[in-house]
Every structure is written in C-alpha cells, then in structure tokens.
Structure 1
Amino acid sequence: MGKRNRACEECHRLKIKCDVTTASGGACERCSRNNLECIAAAPRFQRDRIKELEAHVHDLRNALRSQTSATTSSLSPVSLLESHKYGVLSFLDARIPPSKQHGLLRLFAHQAGAAWPVIRLPMQLDQIRAQSPILLLSVLAYTATQEVQGVELEVHDELVRETMHILGDEIIGRGQRSLELVQALLVAAFWNKTTRKGQQGSCYQIVQLAADMAIDLGIAGLSLQPSPVAYFCQHENPTSLDAQRTWLACFVALSTSSISTRRPSTVSWNAYHQECLLNLESRGEPSDILLCQIVRITQLIQEISNSLRLCQLATFVDGNDYSTYTIIETLRNKVDSWAAQVPPSLGSSQMLKVWRHIAMIHIYEVVVHTPTNKASFAAPFIPGRIAVKDFPTPANVIPPLQAALEAIIQNCHAVIDIAAEMDPVLFLSLPAFCFTPNVIYSLFVLVTVLVAATAPGNTYGQYLTKNSFRIEQCSLKLRGLTASIMSLDPTLSCYTTRMFDVTGWLEQWYTDYAGILRRYETEVVIHGDLSDRGTFKGVYH
C-alpha cells in the first residue's frame, strides 16, 4: 500500500507523524489502534475557508443577538404592555369581529352578568378593549355558547384553549398581577368549559389562583397579607367598590369550592368581608343587591358547613342525637331570617329560592351520615359514589330525625321542581361552577336517602316509603330541562349542558335498583324473612 500524500485529520490535529504503510484498510497506525475513522485531512486552503465561514456565522449570531437585545431594551414597560394587548385583541378579532363583540358584550350584561353579577364591564366596547382586553376575551370565550358566539365549534374550542394559555402566560410566564386578571380568572372558573381536546385547567385551581392574586393585590383586607414578592404590586385603590366586589366574588368561589370538594375553606368569613358587603349594599349599583344576597346565603352555607363539620371528614355528627338538632334549629332559623330579609325586588328570584333549599339540604344532610361515608358527598355526584353499603341504621329513630327525613326530601324535590321551571336561557347564564352542581347535588342526596330508606330492615323505611321519593317524576323533569338546554346549546359547548346531559343515569339506575328490590321481595315471599342487610347487599352487588 502506497503512502498517503496528506496526514489524516486526527494526526494533523495533534501535529504528529501519520504512517499508513503498516496498517490494514488504509488507516494509519494510531487510528487503527484507537478504532478511529481515518480520513485524509482537507487541503490547507479548504481548512482555512471552513474556519473563515464558521467565524462569519459566529459574528452574525452575535450581531443578531445584540440587535434583539437593543430593540427589547428600547421598549418601555408601557410599550411592552401595549404589545401584549395588541396580541390578545388580534387573536380575538380574527375569530370574533368587533361588530359581533359589541353584541356579545350587551348580551353578557343582560344575561350572565345580570344572573350572576360578580363582574362589572363598561358597555363601551372601545373602553374595555383599551383597558381590559384579557377580561373581554375571557367573558366572550366562557359566558356565551358556541351558537351565540356564531363561530364554528373548532373556533369555539380554540377560544377557550387560547384564553387559558394567555392567562397562564400572563400570570405564570410573566408574573403579572392585576384586578383584570383576577376577574378574568373568576369568569373562567364560574363559567368553566371543556373542549374536545380536554379540560383547560381545573376550575378549583383557577379559583385558588384568583384568590391568591387578590390577596397579593391587597384587596382582601389587612388580615390577609400579600406574599413578600408581591408586596410592591398592590392595587392602587384596594378599597374601591370594584375591588371589594371582586373580593366578595372570590369568597363566593372559595366557599363554593370548599363545600363541593369537602375541604375546609382557605379563607373564612371575616370583618372585612362584612365591610365590603355593607359598602356594596349602601353605595353599590342596583345589580349589587343581588350579588349581596348571593354572598349572604353563601356565607350562611359556610357557617352550616362549619357548625355541622361537613368538611371535616373524620368528625362524625350523629343525626339521631338530640344535641345535633339544637344546632340544626339555630341554623334553620338563620336561613329563614335570610329569606325574610331578601328585598321584595328579588322575592321572585328562582335562583335565590334554589339557593335557600340547597342550604336546607346541607343542614339536614347529617341524617344520612355515618362515621365513614362523609367523603361520598363530595363532587362529582355520580351513581358510582352513592354509598349503597354505608348508611345509618339506628335501632330507634328520635322524633327530630323523623321530621328531618321528611324535610330533606321536600327540599330536594323543591330544588328539582324550581330548576325544571326555570328559563333555559337563565339556566345557561348561571355559573356551571357552583349553581348547576348544586342542583345535581340535591338529586344525589335524594337518591342516597332513598337507598337508606329502602334497605330491608332499616328503620328509615318506617317513615319514608319508596313512592315518597317520586324518582320517576324527577327523572322526567330533568329530562325536560336537559332537552330545553340542549336546544340552545346543541353542541354541548357549555359545561352546564354536559352535566345535565349525563343525569340520564338516574333513570337507568332507578330501573336497576327497583328491579333489585323486586327480586329481594320475591325472595322474601319464597324463603321467608331475609331482613338481614348483608343478604340485600349481596343481591345488589
């Protein structure tokens, strides 16, 4: 083998002698020994040219980096803010034109904003576009159905997804804090939606994020201090009516989240909440009258939860104990007092009537509690969570418990009856985060009491018959309500529609359960008394 004219790249780099005469395969001795690819070095001119090009690329990168840095540093904070606003509005305008935005804004004021008045928006579209574009995007994306938005379903889903992405980028990515962002988060939580590609953020986490930001802004009163990093980011007017209204909305969201998940509330009612409430009642806008009543009944439900330990799952309050009914009587009187002071202008509010009955159901819920089944009363309210094996079985039922069993059924029926009579437009306007689940909660409790009362041998059956639950009628009413809502939201773009669509489980569940009861009764006729509860449970499962 002849000797190569040029050294290999490795030997050239190390500046050592390259000898290929004794190695096989044309590799030099060093490359062969180290198992390296032996490639002849490029001519000197070519090597120099490569180095020159690499240096040129390096210079160009440095120049581009310097130019980008200089451009960014030349932008003032105001310019950067305007740039972000422009990006939000550009995205929104490309999907919902400004002419359509104006109509949707007016619709929000007369529907969702009127039914659940936690957020105030100026009626002038130009004003809100200039001051609160992210809040505008959140309102248009979450509070209107896809049909009302007048967009394709894919565009509707894109609006929901991108709104959550923008909120995440503003809050987590850029560390921004503002009253607008708190309000945008509350809108996204109250009227929470899912898309065909999955849910965009948990409404429970969004609520907590909104409340934490409100505290950091200093709008939560002096008793709740901002985090150290947010000390210099406080709102310029933390005691304004808008700030106080927003903080009360945070309280409603937090308290609702607490009772729904059966976790103790992170922010309890305090003197500053009371101050905000009185300020809104005395100096607020007309729609604040309704908000204040929502806040008052929410605060009462929180008190009910605390008094009866509803969110303390390891603490058992006996529904067959006279001392329990001393507490219940006090709480019931407070709910009645609240209902009596509701202003006459709101006397016909179906939403407030539902809320009153929900409070009463929470009061009487202890009649189906055991030391081990309290967790089953947390959302989601689905048949798989019904405690069919775990319900009270007192040997002797005291008179207050007998009355409480009748009262809880009456209040469950009242919620379903009122909801079935509501205008479906109003129903879709109410928040899917707290109002709709409460209606389904009343159905869940009704079925839970049914299971306890129809269990063979259980003393509850002496005071409640199967027919007193009117399950078939409730199922029919819910089916009619679902059909009415779906006529307005056929694509199920709102979470309210989806939740009521799945209440169809009641009909099938009750059919199966009634069949089990009939089989059991047949066994009793054939084989005699089978009152042992274990036998019945074995049949059910």
Structure 2
Amino acid sequence: MRKRSRACEECHRLKIKCDVGTSSSGICDRCTRNSLECTPAAPRLQRDRIKELESQVQELRNVLREQSNSTTPSRSPGSLPLLENSHENAILSLLDARIPLSRQQPLLDFYLHHAGAAWPLIRVPSDLDRIRLKSPILLLSILVYTVTHATQGTELEVHDELVRETMHMLGEEVVGRGQRSLELVQALLVAALWVKTTRKGYQGSCYQIVQLAVDMAIDIGIAGFALQPSPVAYFDRHEDETSAEARRTWLACFVAASTSSMSMRRPSAVSWDGHHQECMLYLECVGDPLDMLMCQIVRITQIIQEISKRLSLCELTSFVDANDYSIHTVMEELKSKVDAWAAQIPTQLASSSTLNVLRHIAMIYIYEPVLHTPTNKPSFAAPFIPGRIPIKDFPKPLVAIPPLQSALEAIVFHCHSVIDTIAEMDPEIAISLPTFCFTPTVVYALFVLVTVLVAGTDPANTYGRFLPTEIFHIEECGLKLRELTAKLKDIDPTMSCYTVRMFDATSWLEEWYNNYTAILRRYESNLAN
C-alpha cells in the first residue's frame, strides 16, 4: 500500500490514513470497500477560505433577520400574522403608516358600495384581513385611487404621497422585480381606471398602465388560447385560468384597452374574440347582479369596438364620406345593434344611468363621420379642449343627401342626452365612476356638440341650412355642467379625484361660446352693412 500525497475528502473528514493500494484508478482502499466517491480533499488554505466564507454568510443572515424584526410594524390584537415576503411587508407598512388599520375596513366597504358597485370590473372580498394577506398591492391601489381625499381622511400632502408611492410600488413590482400575478393585473387596472395625479407632476400614463395590465394578463394565461404568454413568462401562469375572477379580470382588460383605443384613436390592442364571448356567457350564467351589470358594460363596449372598426374611427388615414348612401346603410346596421343591446338589458338594470350614457355615446360614435374630412380626424382624439376644434376643417358638401341631414340632427340629440343624463345622476355615483372609462366620454360628447355648432354656423357650409343655431342649447348645457361641478366639489373640495378636475375644466365652454357668438354677430353685422 502507498500513502497518498493528499487525503481524500472522506478520509480527511474522519481523520484517518488514506492509502491508494494497488488500484490503477487512484481510489483509496476505504472508498473502494464502501463504494464511495474518492475525491482528493482541497488544500488547507482553500478549506480555510471556504469555512471563512460560510461563516460570513451565516453572519449576514443573522443581521438581516435582526433588521427585519426591528422594522416590522406593530399590529393590533387579532390582526393577521406578518407576511414572509419583505416586499409585501413594505406595502402594508406604507399603507398602515398613513392610513390607520382601523380606517382601512370602512374605506374598503366604501369602495365595495360605491366605485365597485357602479363599475364592477374589479371584485375584491369584503374581509380586510383576507385581502391584506392575499392581495396587499391591490388593497393599496383601491384605498389610494378609488376614494377622494376627503373620504380617505388624510392630510393633503399624505394623500399625494400615497398616490406617488403607490405608483412607485407598482413599478417596483412589475419592472423592478418582474412579478406577474392576477392581483397585479387588477391593481394596475385600478390605478389606470381611477387615475389620479399629485400636485407635483404626473405619475405615469394611464394608457401605458393599461397596456402593462393587458400584457401581464396574457402572460399569466387568462387571455385564452389565441393569445399565448411570452416564453419567459410561461411558468408564471395563473393556477386557475377559468375561474370567475380570472374571467372578470380579462374582460376588464378588454374594456380598458377598448376605451384607451377610442380615446387615443389607435387600433385596439385587444380585439373581441371567442374567449371574451365565453367569459361573458359564463358570468351571465353563474354570476351575481354585479356580474350582470359588468356584462352589459362589456357588451356595449364590444359594440363600440365594432363601430370603430366598420367606420374606421381609429384609422386616421382612412376617410369615410358620410355624404354617401352606402355609409348610412352601415350606420343603420350599427344603430340596430345598439338598439338590440338596449332592448335586452335586464329589467333591474334598465334604469341604469351608466348604461344610458354608454348607449348615447355609442350613437355619437356612429354619427361622428358626418364631421370628418380626410385631414381632421385626429381632432377627435383626446384631449377634448377648445384648441383642438377643427374651426376651418369641416366637410362642405354642395348637396347634402337626406340621411346626412338626419344624422346631423341625431348627433346633436345624443350629445344633449349624454349631458342631461350625467347632470341628473347622483353626484356620489358620478364621482365613483372611473375617470379613465366614463368621464372623458361625457367631455367628448360636449366637444362633439360644440364641433357640430361650429360646422353648422360656418357661413360657407351647407350644414347651416338644416341646423338652426337654437337647437344647440349651449347655454343650458353649460349651466347643467356648472351645477354638476359644484356638487362634485362639495364631495371633493380639494379636487383630488380627476373626475372633478375634468368637469371643472368644462368651464371653458361658456367663455368660448361667448367669444364665438360675439365673432358671429360682428360677421353678420358687417354683412348687413
């Protein structure tokens, strides 16, 4: 037997002699007898270094554990045990430090009975402990975005800080940590639908947030077979892709993406398909009354998407001539679809102001091409402000066909109907509806009404022959919006809700109208002289 220059790992561990023997393989006798792997031990210096590094790692673990324990927020008796995930702990720490735990349940209940009931696309449990444990980032988004500053009961600076920090938290979860979950999709949708900004700058585009939510929904596999996840996200799929919650969330993505498409006048990132239909029929069969309302919102959104496609509303380089009988045939077909949808609304929802506004908005979209020229279509994208009214760029047909005349009268009627319906709505409901999906459509109706007025009063335009100025009732519309804004300000005096800010901005209407009518009077006076 011959002694090795360096013992194998097993012999070194047992502190015994290591002899190779006569084997040509270089395996020591002991390892041969016990069928062990014979590996030469590391040199002494290398072994000492490994032991030193292992000791340092253990020390670091001890320090991190002590720091975690020292920064843990105190909890009231009976609250849930702390979450293991440090990021989830950070979310709840942020929330608890600014909104007391005793205040969070009332705010959650307020969401369930107001925003969650008026626009039931994001459903959450009523049990605060459960949502804190399962969905802390969603809870944070709901308590920050869906209630006004006054309802939240915080200082104004704290409210702004919460808006800012919640967006940072969402960014950290989605981009910094690369997380994907149904909860995150819902939290992103809440932040986009009830978008808020601080008084010190913007906090991310709601349009981009919607796109993030849609992409993540596809990645976790709730978008159906036709939209497959990206390769890197394949193993992050949601555990139950056919659950009611998953189906609701994907339909919510569809509504948000379609609204974004119509607002920006870009082709929708999510087209209606068989999986949407399956999700909607499933919820209508097994869902509760809130699911019934949600499905009606989805149905009219799907019709609006079809209107957009057939009339090329989001294809800004494509011109549809409304002084063409074939186009009015398409308009009549689309009008019949809207009417059929309205006729099938369940009895308990027939009086819904929300659905009534959406019906009239769909009709305005149908008749909007009567105002289009090959060059003015971008004017009908948000923001809907006076500077975007195409003052000199209107269709000016030498002879207007009868359906075109009827369409102009119809679009004025539906613009008035939108403003009348929102003016009569309970302000508590109006302020609870999503800023992203609902409020801009009302401002859009006002914008279109003013645009028709300008087209009809242009001395060089034939539209004025069958659109008398007195049918527009701009003064009455301005008064109704001013009264509604006053009621909304009573609820949200600091205008923390973007809905209040948008309605307050419609005050431009009266000043603009006064200036415009003054110009018309001077023009008519010059003609008379």
One of 431, 438, 441 as aligned partner of 2:441 = 438
Change (3 A) 1:323 1:82: same
1:364 matches 2:367:
yes
1:421 matches 2:390:
no
Equivalence for 1:250: 253
Identical-residue share of aligned pairs (%): 65
One of 185, 188, 193 as aligned partner of 2:191 = 188
Equivalence for 2:137: 134
- The within-5 A match list for 1:368-447 is 368-447=371-450
Tell me the distance in 2 between the aligned counterparts of 1:231 and 1:84. Answer: 23
- Deviation, 1:70, is 8.1
SS in structure 1 of the partner of residue 323 of structure 2: coil
What is the CA RMSD across the aligned residues, in angstroms? 2.0
Runs of at least 4 residues of structure 1 off by over 4 A? 60-67, 69-75, 78-81
Equivalence for 1:333: 336
1:307 matches 2:310:
yes
> What letter corresponds to residue 480 of structure 1 in structure 2?
E
SS in structure 2 of the partner of residue 199 of structure 1: coil
Tell me the distance in 1 between the aligned counterparts of 2:276 and 2:167. Answer: 29
Tell me the distance in 1 between the aligned counterparts of 2:521 and 2:352. Answer: 42
1:297 matches 2:276:
no
After superposition, the C-alpha distances for 1:209-256 in whole angstroms (9 at most, x for unaligned) are 000000000000010011111011101111111000000000000000
Equivalence for 2:233: 230
Tell me the distance in 2 between the aligned counterparts of 1:433 and 1:308. Answer: 23
After superposition, the C-alpha distances for 1:418-462 in whole angstroms (9 at most, x for unaligned) are 010111110011000010000000000000011100000311001
- Deviation, 1:63, is 8.7
After superposition, the C-alpha distances for 1:263-290 in whole angstroms (9 at most, x for unaligned) are 0001100000000000000012221000
1:507 matches 2:506:
no
Tell me the distance in 2 between the aligned counterparts of 1:287 and 1:384. Answer: 40
After superposition, the C-alpha distances for 1:122-167 in whole angstroms (9 at most, x for unaligned) are 1111111111011000000000000000111101111111111000
> What letter corresponds to residue 384 of structure 1 in structure 2?
G
After superposition, the C-alpha distances for 1:181-221 in whole angstroms (9 at most, x for unaligned) are 00000000000001011121100000000000000000000
1:168 matches 2:164:
no
> What letter corresponds to residue 478 of structure 2 in structure 1?
S
One of 112, 119, 123 as aligned partner of 1:120 = 123
Tell me the distance in 1 between the aligned counterparts of 2:515 and 2:293. Answer: 43
Q: Is the 8 A contact 2:415 2:448 kept in 1?
A: yes
Tell me the distance in 2 between the aligned counterparts of 1:303 and 1:257. Answer: 15
> What letter corresponds to residue 499 of structure 2 in structure 1?
T
Tell me the distance in 1 between the aligned counterparts of 2:53 and 2:454. Answer: 73
Equivalence for 1:102: 105
Tell me the distance in 1 between the aligned counterparts of 2:371 and 2:222. Answer: 40
- Deviation, 1:71, is 6.8
> What letter corresponds to residue 462 of structure 1 in structure 2?
R
> What letter corresponds to residue 181 of structure 1 in structure 2?
L
One of 203, 219, 224 as aligned partner of 2:222 = 219
SS in structure 1 of the partner of residue 241 of structure 2: coil
Tell me the distance in 2 between the aligned counterparts of 1:233 and 1:292. Answer: 28
> What letter corresponds to residue 524 of structure 2 in structure 1?
E
Change (3 A) 1:115 1:79: closer
Equivalence for 2:466: 463
> What letter corresponds to residue 441 of structure 2 in structure 1?
N
Change (3 A) 1:474 1:218: same
SS in structure 1 of the partner of residue 173 of structure 2: helix
1:143 matches 2:146:
yes
Aligned residues: 465
SS in structure 2 of the partner of residue 195 of structure 1: coil
Tell me the distance in 2 between the aligned counterparts of 1:519 and 1:479. Answer: 28
> What letter corresponds to residue 491 of structure 1 in structure 2?
T
After superposition, the C-alpha distances for 1:62-114 in whole angstroms (9 at most, x for unaligned) are 99788447877999xx9985222211111111111111100011111100000
1:320 matches 2:323:
yes
- The within-5 A match list for 1:333-352 is 333-352=336-355
Q: Is the 8 A contact 2:323 2:370 kept in 1?
A: yes
Tell me the distance in 2 between the aligned counterparts of 1:63 and 1:153. Answer: 49
Equivalence for 1:268: 271
1:155 matches 2:172:
no
> What letter corresponds to residue 440 of structure 2 in structure 1?
P
Tell me the distance in 2 between the aligned counterparts of 1:322 and 1:290. Answer: 36
Tell me the distance in 2 between the aligned counterparts of 1:114 and 1:297. Answer: 18
Tell me the distance in 2 between the aligned counterparts of 1:71 and 1:369. Answer: 67
- Deviation, 1:121, is 1.0
SS in structure 1 of the partner of residue 496 of structure 2: coil
> What letter corresponds to residue 188 of structure 1 in structure 2?
A
Tell me the distance in 2 between the aligned counterparts of 1:516 and 1:64. Answer: 81
Tell me the distance in 2 between the aligned counterparts of 1:73 and 1:120. Answer: 36
Tell me the distance in 2 between the aligned counterparts of 1:244 and 1:436. Answer: 25
Equivalence for 2:526: 523
After superposition, the C-alpha distances for 1:382-423 in whole angstroms (9 at most, x for unaligned) are 000000010010000100001001000000000000010111
Tell me the distance in 1 between the aligned counterparts of 2:457 and 2:345. Answer: 38
> What letter corresponds to residue 319 of structure 2 in structure 1?
F
- Deviation, 1:61, is 13
Tell me the distance in 2 between the aligned counterparts of 1:407 and 1:70. Answer: 73
- Deviation, 1:524, is 0.5
Equivalence for 1:82: 85
After superposition, the C-alpha distances for 1:350-405 in whole angstroms (9 at most, x for unaligned) are 01000000000000001100000000000000000000010010000100001001
Change (3 A) 1:296 1:261: same
Tell me the distance in 2 between the aligned counterparts of 1:177 and 1:307. Answer: 35
Tell me the distance in 2 between the aligned counterparts of 1:382 and 1:446. Answer: 12
Tell me the distance in 2 between the aligned counterparts of 1:125 and 1:79. Answer: 14
> What letter corresponds to residue 246 of structure 1 in structure 2?
T
Q: Is the 8 A contact 2:83 2:89 kept in 1?
A: no
1:480 matches 2:483:
yes
After superposition, the C-alpha distances for 1:34-64 in whole angstroms (9 at most, x for unaligned) are xxxxxxxxxxxxxxxxxxxxxxxxxx99997
Question: Structure 2: which 5+ runs fail to align?
Answer: 1-51, 69-80
> What letter corresponds to residue 477 of structure 2 in structure 1?
C
Q: Is the 8 A contact 2:138 2:186 kept in 1?
A: yes
Tell me the distance in 1 between the aligned counterparts of 2:301 and 2:294. Answer: 10
